[in-house]
Homo-oligomer: A and B are copies of this chain.
Amino acid sequence: MSAEKVGFIGLGIMGEPMASNLIKKGHELVVHNRSRGPVDKLAAEGAQPAETSREVAELTDVVITMLPDSPQVEEVFEGDSGLLAGASEGTLHIDMSTISPLVTKKLAERASDLGVRTLDAPVSGGQPAAVSGELSIMVGGADEDFARAEPLFGAMGTAVHVGGTGTGQVVKACNQIIVAVVIEAVSEALVLGSKAGVDPAKVIEALSGGLAGTKVMEAKRSNFLDHDFEPGFRIELHHKDLGIALATAREAGVALPLTAVVDQMLQTLQVKGRGGLDHSALLTLIEEAAEHQIGGTAKASS
């Protein structure tokens, strides 16, 4: 398995360290990216550069894509210079981008017609986890394909096989729902507490050990308390992801009232020019509604 040649397309702030970790674990890599910088960097680590997605697929057994959204994945997948044009029967395409489960299913059907195998394997944990090789990877697809991909996943993080094609994307959507709603819940609590006279650090201290305990409160503590909204995970990306969640829910016939409200709040923050801030900046909207800032020096707030 680990002797398979691996292609990696999309070497952004997530993809580049993920590819680098694969090289470090001894995998032979062929890489492609729209801009040349990260290709050269990975070539210096031993990767073989390729000019097109098609060429990546021609030279490898397993092709990983890590791209911003559905249109980019479709673009890399389709067409004369796309990965499907270069793939052979038995090629495994692992899409680690966060995209619509509906698009994932459509692409999987096209791949299946040509004998190309697919896994959807979106990740959580952000750039720090991409660098340290500690991503959480949510995988949809067939058992044998998951088994084939496991050594690769192991180089990048920890994978959980959650079901058939598209379910990795569905679970990622669930993840994004919970994270966004929890950030907003903590924001409401901290602003109320603060405006009613309680030091927000005390609120976090008092609530962390109980049923109100959340990873968000722990991991984003200094973002909330110091008004440090350097991303992290950007509001505009989270807004994109809730768009996927809400479209998936619409298709499935599920009402998501809190998700819909937070999605509108992320939209509002984008209009206010804060799409590039960390998603913990949801706090600023509640602060503004209360004309009250809980602390910090507004480092990245506009």
Contacts and interface: CB of A to CB of B under 8 A. Distances in A.
A113 interface: no
Interface in A82-109: 101
A12 B234 CA distance: 48
Nearest to A189: B174
A179 B198 CA distance: 19
A166 B198 CA distance: 9
A273 interface: no
A210 B202 contact: no
Contacts of A179: 211-212
Contacts of A257: 184, 188, 261, 265
B189 A207 contact: no
A253 B170 contact: no
A252 interface: yes
A48 interface: no
A95 B85 CA distance: 72
Nearest to A200: B174
Given A181-B181, A192-B252, A261-B258, A163 B214 contact: no
B210 A136 contact: yes
A124 B160 contact: no
Contact of A195 (B184, B189, B190, B254): B254
28 contacts: A124-B212, A138-B206, A160-B202, A162-B205, A166-B197, A170-B196, A177-B188, A177-B189, A178-B185, A178-B186, A178-B212, A181-B181, A181-B184, A181-B188, A181-B258, A182-B185, A182-B214, A188-B257, A192-B249, A192-B254, A195-B253, A196-B248, A196-B252, A211-B219, A213-B214, A214-B215, A254-B286, A258-B258
- Rank and list the top 7 A-B pairs by shortest CB-CB distance, nearest first: A181-B185, A174-B189, A255-B289, A213-B215, A178-B212, A254-B290, A160-B206
Interface of A: 101, 124-125, 136, 138, 158, 160, 162-164, 166-167, 170-171, 173-175, 177-179, 181-182, 184-186, 188-193, 195-199, 202-203, 205-207, 209-216, 219, 245, 248-249, 252-259, 261-262, 265, 286, 289-292
